[in-house]
């Protein structure tokens, strides 16, 4: 943005309609030092000062330049305010998230201290919770996406079919059902299948526990 503003500011100064302009005042046409690079950087410097509280020696010298300068001040004020607002909102959000995580961690530590949990079990619990949080950041399930809960039933059914049907077709029985009884597969996808993400140390199967579900990995 500053590049285009600096080019426009230099063009305004070179129109040649007025007897005096900022270009005539700032540069010496006979000087060898006022080359292209210096002229561009001077104009760019001026454009940057319109977005910050800084100032410089270049000032408008006619009505057109003054009008352009006023418009750039309003634009700079708008963009600077928007930038500061976004930064403030971002810092507020991060502070809130960190505060919530600290509260959860303090509650967990307080509970384990009150119950006299052993150091080894404490370490295992904290390690598991950390791994599960990292896995949640890598893999998103349907239950993690809040807007999906507001979808109508017909759209949810179509979503479940597109997500789960390709997984079922890896199984020979369900692949044959998909060919002969596609409606059954659609019902299974919509009513019977759910996503699940496991942590690094979380068990999917446990010895001696009766299996009540089929898992597709």
> Per-residue confidence of the chain (217 residues) as pLDDT tens digits?
889 999 999 999 988 888 899 998 888 766 666 788 889 999 999 999 988 877 888 989 999 999 999 999 999 888 888 888 999 999 999 999 899 989 988 998 898 888 888 888 888 888 877 776 665 556 677 877 888 888 899 998 999 999 888 888 888 888 888 888 889 989 998 998 888 877 666 677 778 888 888 888 7
Q: Tell the residue number behind the tokens 């949810």, with chain if given.
A: 156
Residue 26, pLDDT score = 87
Residue 200, pLDDT score = 64
**Residue 209 DSSP class:** P
How many whole angstroms separate alpha carbon 69 and alpha carbon 87?
Answer: 26
The answer to whether the beta carbons of residues 27 and 39 sit under 8 Å apart is yes
Residue 67, pLDDT score = 94
Task: For residue 213, give both structure tokens.
Answer: 């579900």
Taking the whole predicted model, whether its pTM rises above 0.75 is answered as: no
How many whole angstroms separate alpha carbon 76 and alpha carbon 81?
Answer: 8
Residue-by-residue DSSP string for 54-98: ---S----SHHHHHHHHHHHHHHHHHHHHHHHHHHHHHHHHHHHH
Residue 124, pLDDT score = 82
**Beta strand segments in the chain, E:** none
Q: Residue 73, Cβ neighbours under 10 Å: how many?
A: 13
Residue 207, pLDDT score = 80
Q: Residue 153, Cβ neighbours under 10 Å: how many?
A: 8
How many whole angstroms separate alpha carbon 36 and alpha carbon 29?
Answer: 11
Residue 135, pLDDT score = 57
Q: Residue 3, Cβ neighbours under 10 Å: how many?
A: 11
């Amino acid at each position: 943005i500053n590049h285009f503003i600096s080019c426009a500011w230099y063009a305004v100064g070179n129109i040649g309609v007025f007897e005096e302009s900022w270009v005539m005042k700032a540069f010496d046409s006979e000087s060898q030092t006022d080359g292209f690079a210096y002229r561009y950087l001077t104009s760019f410097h001026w454009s940057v000062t319109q977005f910050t509280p800084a100032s410089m020696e270049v000032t408008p010298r006619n009505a057109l330049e003054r009008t352009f300068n006023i418009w750039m001040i309003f634009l700079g004020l708008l963009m600077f305010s928007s930038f500061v607002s976004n930064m403030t909102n971002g810092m507020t959000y991060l502070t809130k998230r960190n505060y919530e995580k600290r509260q959860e961690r303090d509650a967990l530590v307080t509970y384990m201290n009150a119950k006299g949990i052993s150091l080894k079990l404490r370490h295992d619990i904290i390690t598991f919770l950390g791994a599960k949080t990292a896995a949640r950041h890598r893999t998103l399930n349907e239950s993690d996406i809040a807007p999906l809960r507001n979808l109508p039933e017909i759209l949810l059914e179509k979503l479940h079919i597109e997500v789960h049907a390709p997984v079922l077709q890896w199984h020979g029985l369900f692949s044959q059902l998909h060919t002969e009884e596609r409606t059954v597969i659609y019902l299974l996808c919509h009513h019977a299948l759910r996503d699940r993400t496991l942590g690094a140390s979380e068990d999917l199967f446990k010895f001696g526990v009766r299996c009540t579900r089929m898992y597709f990995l």
